[in-house]
Amino acid sequence: MAKPAVSSSSSSWIWFVSVATLIHMCTALSSSSSSSRCYTAIYSFGDSIADTGNYLYYDTDEISPSSSLVLNPPYGETFFHHPTGRFSDGRLIIDFLAEQMGVPLLKPYLGIKKGQIKDWNSLEGVNFAVGGATALDISFFLEKGLYDVVVPTNYSLGVQFDWFLDLLPSICNSSSGCKEVLGRSLFLVGEIGGNDFNYLFLLGTTIEEAMTYVPLVINKISWVINKLIDLGAQTLVVPGNFAIGCNFVYLNSYPSTDMEDYDESGCLKSFNNFAEYYNKQLLAELNRLQELHPDVNIIYADYYHDSLQIYKSPRKFGFTKSILNSCCPLDNANNHNAVMKKCGEQGVITCNDPSQYISWDGIHLTEAAYKWIAKGLLKGPFTNPKIGLSCDSDM
């Protein structure tokens, strides 16, 4: 597989423009009024970073054997003590946001739709995020011949928005009533779009080619944001991409003998540069939307720098294991291109203490890492403007 790369001059340009755009965004977004109260509900869209159980309610013929491993132990072992459909050992960023707001952990839409979840209140929020989901519709991947190869689900962002429309009569029953109810709610639009590029990269797509698809992904996210605002959404949190060059699966999929390909923390520069490029384009679009809707709070969640601080200084955050280690399976560190058992497979060996690891299963993070990221969003500098929950509970 060819190793994607970005030239050093391109990297410098990306860094400079990203910083300049971020400063501009901070100025523009800070001018919008951020609510200082707790929101009454969260409505969440996204992929496995935010899926709180929709994966549990797939039809069996919709899940590949590999993807279904999340339904097996040791997933969920830390907090829930059983698999919940979450792609981690415990709680996710969205769970910590809900706890901070004082609302119940979000119920998955598919469980509600199929009548298997009875104790739900649509006025407290619903989760539409699905593991494996993409921002782009499945037609994009079908045209490229990729759907049957890597894309595990048809539940794209557009499909998730349609689910929201289907559920809307259960949330509110009139145009004016909807604007009031939805105006008191927090909408989490993402993280979404990361999988669009994960699938392309893992099939050998170059970074230069992947860049050409960035506008398509961002246009889809923008379209959903506009639709939600039209329906009455007043506060939307839109995360960018993580520091994927520090992610275990990328480090193991693209090993290099050239030390110039790595930064001082051991992260792959080219993939982090791509994530910064993507985030810069997303920021620019959010800035445009904010100007179009000055009375709406569009909050950028900087997942990139929020995660990067942990990758750069793991011990500062209580992680004793490096970014080259993952908890599940335990024995897969530094074993490039080896055929290894996957987390959730029978007989897999896992670590004794996931809180010492940033990486849970090589792709997703541990509850401990997600808690720090959530804290960075709520208490730190990684949202602009601030989410402004003003809730009494502590993290």
Q: What is the pLDDT of residue 154?
A: 82
| Residues 136-164, mean pLDDT to the nearest whole number | 83
Give mean pLDDT, residues 366-394.
Answer: 84
Average pLDDT over residues 160-174: 93
φ and ψ at 187, to 5 degrees?
-105, 125
CATH code for 39-244+269-305+366-384? 3.40.50
Its pTM stands at 0.88
Supply the pLDDT for residue 62: 59
What average pLDDT does this structure show over 44-60?
A: 90
Between the two ends of the chain, the Cα-to-Cα distance in Å is 43
**Structural tokens at position 207:** 């970074």
pLDDT of residue 256: 95
> What's at 159, amino acid-wise?
V
How many Å apart are CA 66 and CA 83, to the nearest integer?
Answer: 15
Q: What's the alpha-carbon Rg for the chain, to the nearest Å? A: 20
* Pair 50, 127: CB distance under 8 Å: yes
* Cβ-contact 297, 389 below 8 angstroms: no
- Residue 157: what pLDDT? 97
Mind telling me the catalytic residues? 48, 361, 364
The length of the chain in residues reads 395
Structure confidence at residue 384 as a pLDDT band (50, 70, 90): confident
- Helix, strand or coil, per DSSP, at residue 44: strand
User: Is 36's pLDDT higher than 50?
Assistant: no
The DSSP call for residue 365 is B
pLDDT of residue 174: 77
Q: Check whether 236 has a pLDDT greater than 50.
A: yes
What is the residue extent of each domain of the chain?
39-244+269-305+366-384
| Predicted pLDDT of residue 34 | 39
- Top-ranked range on mean pLDDT: pick from 4-13, 52-61, 351-360: 351-360
Mean pLDDT in residue range 305-309:
98
> What is the mean pLDDT of the segment spanning 319-327?
95
The count of C-alpha atoms lying within 13 angstroms of the C-alpha of 221, restricted to the half-sphere facing its C-beta, is 38
Q: Which two tokens stand for residue 196?
A: 């669009």
Mean pLDDT, rounded, for 115-140: 90
Joined together, the tokens standing for residue 10 give: 């391109």
Range from 106-110, 178-182, 229-233, 286-290 carrying the lowest mean pLDDT: 178-182
pLDDT at 272: 98
- 243: exposed, middle or buried (Cβ count in 10 Å: 0-12, 13-18, 19+): buried
How confident is the model at residue 31, as a pLDDT? Answer: 37
What is the mean predicted confidence (pLDDT) over 121-149? 85
Q: Which residues contact 165 (CB under 8 A, 6 or more apart)?
A: none
Which percentage of the chain shows pLDDT scores above 90? 66
